Amino acid sequence: MALFPAFLKLGGRRCLVVGAGGVAEDKVASLLLTEADVCVVAPKATARIRAWARAKKISLETRPFRFSDLNGAFLVIAATSSSALHAKIFAEARHRQVLCNVVDDPDHCDFYYGAVVRRGVLQIAISTEGRSPALAQRLKKEIARKFGPEYEEWLTKIGRRRKQLFAEKKLSPASRKDLLHQIASESSFREFRRRKSEGKHARKSN
């Protein structure tokens, strides 16, 4: 079965995390980046998760999981130490048509966490469909070296220029398309990096 690659908008959607240990903490952190409505359920929680709850960034229920916790959830992430509990969560989530991810258990996942390289709004995600997370991590490191932090600033510049081009009513669609490809080209990136480097040298000399 082929996976459907997608980047989800989770802002305001209820996302449930069952478990509040170190692994769950990483999942909560990634959900917070999306401005999701994050609810965590677990008898105990790490200091960081408790801090997020005190800051009202998430809601935290320090108790065992109940099936009713899935009410209104868009997705659930199971990150406990109990495989039996994970199986129950997955079965109930399937029954309710709630997307489920059981950490480190590909057979009980409706979706996988990819290895992601982030450069601002630029995200490059890698999936091996759960077959080799180690390979995904290796490829992530290789891609991170190729696409450095400077891509964040460059993409911001591209975004501004794109808005300007769409505001120019006299441009034909074909001309606009050509210009959009030019500003996203490798030569454009090299020119951006050259000017950035010259700017740094000029500031140092002053």
Closest Cα partner for 154 from 187, 181, 186, 189? 189
Q: Which amino acid is at 120?
A: G
pLDDT confidence of residue 114: 85
pTM of the entire structure?
Answer: 0.81
pLDDT confidence of residue 47: 98
Closest Cα partner for 16 from 98, 96, 82, 81? 98
Backbone dihedral region of 193: left (phi > 0), alpha (psi from -120 to 50 degrees) or beta?
A: alpha
| pLDDT, one tens digit for every residue, the chain (206 residues) | 788 988 999 999 999 999 999 999 999 999 999 999 999 999 999 999 999 999 999 999 999 999 999 999 999 999 999 999 999 999 999 999 999 999 989 899 999 888 899 999 999 999 888 788 899 999 999 999 999 999 999 999 999 999 999 999 899 999 999 999 999 999 999 999 988 888 776 666 66
139 contacts 124 by C-beta, under 8 angstroms? no
17 contacts 38 by C-beta, under 8 angstroms? yes
Three-state DSSP at 109 gives strand
Residue 32 CB-density burial (10 A; 0-12 exposed, 13-18 middle, 19+ buried): middle
Closest Cα partner for 49 from 73, 71, 79, 70? 79
